Chains A and B, each alone.
Chain A
Amino acid sequence: MTSIRMRGLVDHLVTGLCVLSTILAVVPLFSVLYYVAARGLGGVNLAFFTMLPAPVGEQGGGAANAIVGSLELVGLACLIGIPPGILAGVYLAEYGNSKLGQVVRFSADVMSGVPSITVGLFVYAIVVLQTGHFSAYAGGLALAIIMLPTVTRTTEELLRLVPEALREAALGLGVAKWRTTVSILLRTALPGVATGVMLAIARVFGETAPLLFTSFSNRYWSESLNEPTASLPVQIFTYAVSPYEDWHRQAWAAALLLVAFVLVLNVTARLLVRPRV
């Protein structure tokens, strides 16, 4: 009898602890969101989206070049990083049990743990030093390298989740292997792969370290992708450490925008994998 009561007590105690821990885990997330929104909303106005940064000492101006720059950098990263990432994922899923497959999988896992500033240094050494200047290309490449392992491993995992029965169905209809892989396996895994890609994009969107010495920064519009390019994270960094009140406000606004982007990407990714009715 007492032991039953003890069990009930322990049950309540542990449940309570779990609830408490959950709240503890969620509090930082919501306080960050709240804080960024509270501080950032004041800086969000039309000028923020449409104007270049104002010269030092003047009020106003915006972050239009950083917004466009961030989109350019992430776009380049997608162009460079997604195709090889998906192809490598297909390779791992279809032929991954070979020696080479194991090496590739291990490398991808190690790569996803490499600090992003190391990737920035690597690109600095092989691109920036060689060309002699910072550029959006260099920044895009650095972000692509950071995306690559995530995209590869997600693609592999999701292709492995496609039921073997579908592969057999297609092969049994006399469909060639490559066609089966592309039109059946990849097609079936597509929502999941898209989710993985979006999460990878969301991750690199906020990367600052690898951009500091690859795409660097720019107070003006970049005339081409071969020039130093502004980006939101680097802008936030520069403004946040500046002594000007107005710049601080813009840094908060930029941070809010960044968080909003990442949130939208994450929510979209969630919606994509939701089973359709």
Chain B
Amino acid sequence: MQTSQAQSVDLRPSVLDSPPSGAQESVVRDLSGNKLRTKQLRAFFGKAEVLRGIDLDFPERKVTAIIGPSGCGKSTFIRCLNRMHEVVPGATCAGEAMLDGKDIFRMDPVHLRREVGMVFQKPNPFPTMSIRDNVLAGLRLNGIKVADADALVEKSLRQVAMWDEVKDSLGRSGMSLSGGQQQRLCIARTIAMQPKVILMDEPCSALDPIATARVEELIHELRDSYTIVIVTHNMQQAARVAHFTAFFYMGELVERGETKEIFTRPSQQRTEDYITGRFG
């Protein structure tokens, strides 16, 4: 049923079209439905404060989009959620972020990142590995034994709707694929780890419209299985894929709500100015 629903999704509705069908179900708003939540999350580069205390909840198996002008801290925010922010020299975070009620800042970042996967702005398959090895890379490099590697490769590639395209060339280099295929390969690599949450940092900004449509279609399919957080510059994209949308501005969360609400009846003037294109 899920697949047929996903296939029927029109990928180019207008902003004011109905929000993703998931949002029409009665959304569980209570705390127990949240996979991930942050409380007064702050982030710094050296002394510069780029996130000024973000309180945000991410309900399980829902897509939350984060929009906002460049430099508003949205990428930094999701990079805090898998602690990739701290990898940059001089970068620090403060505040609270809970995954299933566990404080992520007390977790080993290596373990956290296996549960909170990430898809980056530019497709970044490992150039020295074949398509197949790219899918298995996360598991292999972590020394996790895979009982049936072939089945996992097929399942992961099917989930990103690539199996039929590459099943005869699994041994080819991941770099031989087109940009859109590379990005879907990176998503396959992420879901092969079976994370609880997938963070996507502008996953379509380096792709052409057709490849973008396919990745969005993919997000539609994945949202029944994963909690997804997607940063995007493209407001139509947020409208197409997300149940919830959060608007960031200058390191602050301006507002967050159901995607339809945000795009039709924003409660803040700044949100309205941004989505109507008055700035940013």
The contact string, 1 if C-beta is below 8 Å from chain B, for chain A 255-267, is 0000000000000
Complex CA distance for A190 and B110, rounded to whole angstroms: 25
Contacts of B101-132 to chain A: CB distance below 8 A:
110-115, 117-118, 120, 122, 124-128
Check B142 against A169 for contact (C-beta < 8 Å): no
Contact status of A172 and B117, CB under 8 A, knowing A163-B124, A184-B126, A188-B127: yes
Query: A168-B87, A169-B186, A187-B128 known; A174 and B142 CB under 8 Å?
Result: yes
B193 interfacial contact with A, CB 8 Å: yes
Q: Which residues of B contact A170 (CB under 8 A)?
A: 126, 137, 141
Cα–Cα distance between A165 and B84 once the two chains are bound (Å): 12
A118 at the binding interface (Cβ < 8 Å): no
**Which residues of B161-209 are within 8 A (CB) of A?**
173, 186, 189-190, 193
Which of A166, A174, A176, A276 lies in contact with B126, CB distance below 8 A?
A166
Contact of B84 (CB < 8 Å), options: A163, A168, A176: A168
Number of interface residues of B (CB under 8 A): 28
Which B residues from 192 to 237 make CB contacts under 8 A with A?
193
For residue B257, CB closer than 8 A to chain A, the reply is: no
Tell me if A179 is interfacial: C-beta within 8 Å of chain B: yes
- A163 to B84 CA separation, bound complex (whole angstroms): 16
Secondary structure at chain A's binding surface: helix, strand, loop or mixed?
Answer: helix
A contact residues around B110 at 8 Å (CB): 174-176
Chain A residues, CB < 8 A from B277 = none
Answer yes or no: B271 CB below 8 A from chain A CBs. Answer: no
Q: Say yes or no: is B46 at the interface (Cβ < 8 Å to chain A).
A: no
Interface assignment of A171: CB less than 8 Å from any CB of chain B: yes
CA distance A176 to B143 in the complex (A): 10
Partner of A172, one of B111, B113, B126, B142: B113
Least CB distance from B202 to A in Å reads 13
Q: How far is the CA of A183 from the CA of B140 in the complex (A)?
A: 10
Assembled-state Cα–Cα distance A247/B114 (Å):
68
Asked if A173 is at the interface of the complex by the 8 Å CB criterion, the answer is: yes
The answer on a CB contact under 8 Å between B113 and A174 is yes
* Chain A residues, Cβ within 8 Å of B126: 166, 169-170, 184, 188
The minimal Cβ–Cβ distance linking A60 to chain B, given in whole angstroms, is 51
Within 8 Å of chain A (Cβ to Cβ): is B138?
Answer: yes
Contact call A173/B117, Cβ cutoff below 8 A? yes
CB atoms of A173 and B124 under 8 A apart: no
**In the complex the two chains form, is B120's CB within 8 Å of A168's CB?**
yes
Tell me the smallest distance from the CB of A236 to a CB of chain B, in Å: 41
Contacts of A165 in B (CB 8 A): 120, 122, 124
The 9 closest A-B pairs by CB, nearest first: A174-B114, A173-B138, A174-B113, A172-B118, A165-B124, A175-B141, A169-B124, A187-B128, A174-B110
26 A-B pairs whose Cβ atoms sit less than 8 Å apart in the complex: A97-B89, A163-B124, A165-B122, A166-B127, A168-B87, A168-B120, A169-B126, A170-B126, A171-B113, A173-B113, A173-B137, A173-B138, A173-B142, A173-B189, A173-B193, A174-B113, A174-B138, A174-B193, A175-B142, A179-B142, A184-B141, A187-B128, A188-B126, A188-B127, A188-B128, A190-B128
**Residues in chain B within 8 A of chain A (CB atoms):** 82, 84, 87, 89, 110-115, 117-118, 120, 122, 124-128, 137-138, 141-142, 173, 186, 189-190, 193
**A-B contact sample (18 more), CB < 8 A, given A163-B124, A175-B141:** A166-B127, A168-B120, A169-B186, A170-B137, A171-B87, A171-B113, A172-B117, A172-B118, A172-B120, A173-B137, A173-B138, A173-B142, A173-B193, A174-B114, A175-B138, A175-B142, A179-B141, A179-B142
